[in-house]
Structure 1
Amino acid sequence: MKKLLVIAALLSAPAIAQANLVVNGSFEDYTTVTPGHWSIFNSGYGWTTGANGVEIRNAVAGTAADGVRFAELDTTGNGWISQTIQTNAFQSLELAFSYAPRAGVAAKSNGIQIFWNDQSLGSITANGGSGPSWLDLVYDVQADSSGFGVLKFAAIGTSDGLGGSLDNISVTAIPEPGSAAMLLAGLGILAVTARRRRA
């Protein structure tokens, strides 16, 4: 029974979890932004920004979905952030992130558009309520023939310094069916070997 439990644990998500290919996806590397403060940054900490930079907040106009810091793209006006992801050629990937409309702000100001390799994946907006309300979104994307993908988020709608927020951004490889099968088979072989050695 104990052996079966060990195998079950190995087959669980952590055992086959894929690494996040996004650098600073939860904006926690902006360590100078302390609780109750916010600041606007230009390119750095893994992200390239437009001319208006990116606003990083820590317990200001909401709280983070992951960690303590999160980003707004409508700083002094609509802005954008991007990051180049490197993996294998034509790798299937999962893009996931958390979005929240700014509390008390209408949907016309809270829009964010999502791009992958300059192609729009769509946009999201919502009316802001009385407090933070994070939504988790997931998209399937693919690296190009050189193994690259450019991820971009852009503020859309009214450019008024009040906009939607982003946090907890990740891009992870989706294992090919053959790779997953080989992993499971390998775990099975290890289990059999361990059993024989203990017999």
Structure 2
Amino acid sequence: MFVKQIAIAATILCAASAQAATVFSDNFDSDVLVLNSTSFLGGWTVSAGTVDTIGPGLYDVFPGNGHYIDLDGSTGSAGLFSKSLSAVAGTTYTVSFDLAGNHRGYGNDTVAVNFGSASGSYVLSSSDAFATQTLTFTALGSGLVSLSFQNGGGDNVGALLDNVAIAAVPEPSTYAMLLGGLGLLGVAARRRQG
């Protein structure tokens, strides 16, 4: 009976620990609406150009979505929108983010996204609605990794970005150690019964 209880506890612990933990999220709703944004509460930086924080009251081209980022600011030079975070070796990280077309009739936008060792390129037509995308990588070493978004245009109208979230799942060896320890408890319990 005791061994069965340990097996049930192990299953519950593994299921709970297998859940990804959110390490960062930003929907930009707390950021000030402004063209050529330079200050972001989520710790983002902009280099080599500009981005705009738009939404209700300032070029709200996609009503009902709060604040969001126009990845091709208002200077004719799309900025590199990026954020650094600390990664732990062996941990798998997944970033999810919503991308939409520019919704201003300016044709297609191509957005290059880099996250640690993962990268993706997304082509969006002007009328594309927000859709969630994901990228995943496993950190080979501990240290800073970068998440960046770069719109390929330079026409002051870019793809739209919203709801960025990063989650981490511990390395599989953590689960192996947990199961090994629980197995030893089961063996000890069986010896006590016998």
Structure 1 length as normaliser, TM-score?
0.68
SS in 2 for 1:40: coil
Structure 1 residue aligned with 2:191: none
Which amino acid letter does the alignment assign opposite residue 116 of structure 1?
Answer: F
- The answer for the alignment partner of 2:91 in structure 1 is 91
Q: Tell me which of 43, 51, 55 is aligned to 2:52.
A: 55
Please state whether the residue corresponding to 1:152 is helix, strand or coil.
strand
Q: Which residue of 2 aligns with 1:189?
A: none
Q: What is the distance in 2 between the residues matched to 1:184 and 1:29?
A: 42
Q: 1:149 aligns with which of 145, 154, 157?
A: 145
Structure 2 unmatched runs, 5+: 1-10, 182-194
Paired residues in the alignment total: 172
Alignment partners' CA distance in 2, 1:95 and 1:43: 22
Residue 114 of structure 1: aligned partner: 113
Residues 144-173 of structure 1: per-residue CA shift (max 9 Å, x gap): 52332111111103x111110111111111
**SS in structure 1 of the partner of residue 82 of structure 2:** strand
Structure 2 counterpart of 1:72, which letter? D
Would the aligned equivalents of 2:14 and 2:175 in 1 still touch at CA under 8 Å?
Answer: no
Task: Trace 1:1-199 onto structure 2 (pairs within 5 A).
Answer: 17-22=19-24, 25-30=26-31, 32-33=32-33, 38-45=34-41, 46-59=43-56, 60-63=60-63, 65=65, 68-76=66-74, 77=76, 78-108=78-108, 110-117=109-116, 121-129=119-127, 133-157=129-153, 159-179=154-174
Percent identical pairs in the alignment equals: 24
1:100–1:133 Cα contact (<8 Å) kept: yes
C-alpha spacing 1:184/1:172, structure 2 compared with 1 (3 Å): farther
Whichever residue aligns with residue 54 of structure 2, its letter is R
Q: CA deviation at 1:141?
A: 1.5
1:92, CA displacement in angstroms?
A: 1.3
- Specify whether residues 144 and 176 from structure 1 end up closer, same or farther in structure 2 by C-alpha distance, changes over 3 A only: closer
Give 1:39's aligned amino acid.
Answer: L
Partner Cα separation in structure 1 for residue 81 and residue 140 of structure 2: 20
Normalising by structure 2, we get a TM-score of: 0.70
**SS of corresponding position for 1:125:** strand
SS in structure 1 of the partner of residue 125 of structure 2: coil
C-alpha distance in structure 2 between counterparts of 1:156 and 1:86, whole Å: 27
- The residue identity in structure 2 corresponding to 1:94 is T
Query: Is the CA contact (8 Å cut-off) linking 2:85 and 2:145 kept in structure 1?
Result: yes
Q: Which has the larger radius of gyration?
A: 2
